Amino acid sequence: MLYLASDHAGFTLKTAIIAALKKNDVPHDDLGCYSEISCDYSDFAHKLADQVQKSGAMGIAICGSGIGMSMALNRHAEIRAALCHEENSVELSRKHNDANVLVLAGRKTTLEQALSFLKIFSETQFEGGRHLARVKKIKIT
């Protein structure tokens, strides 16, 4: 299962990603928002964080710049949200940081880029080892 959430500025990209997921029979759940009407990214970031925490699944979050979603998501224990703008960062976020939420900038990321990033994110495994000790030091205090 893949969970997706966006604010109004990420709605169009999220909708396009969902269409591609449906076409490829990828199980997913859209947690909102459901239109381009202005809304607060944090409401949807918290919904996404709750589902990822409960299920252990991965998530995708999209807002205009990706910054707001990243900040809100990373306030949650066990959420490691990575705002990525290019493929190498996506890969390293999984390999070295065990990221479980990919954050995209809806106003800067094309659908082609987003689908490439999602493929890399979902197929790349955490390397563990020396990285595991570092990830374990990430705490919400």
What span, in angstroms and rounded, lies between the C-alpha atoms of 79 and 61? 12
What span, in angstroms and rounded, lies between the C-alpha atoms of 21 and 136? 32
Say if residue 101 is exposed, middle or buried (CB neighbours under 10 Å; 0-12, 13-18, 19+): buried
Question: Of residues 28, 85, 96, 131, which has the active-site annotation?
Answer: 96
Going from the C-alpha of 6 to that of each of 28, 84, 110, the distances in angstroms are 14, 15, 15
28 catalytically annotated: no
What span, in angstroms and rounded, lies between the C-alpha atoms of 104 and 64? 8
Active-site residue set: 96
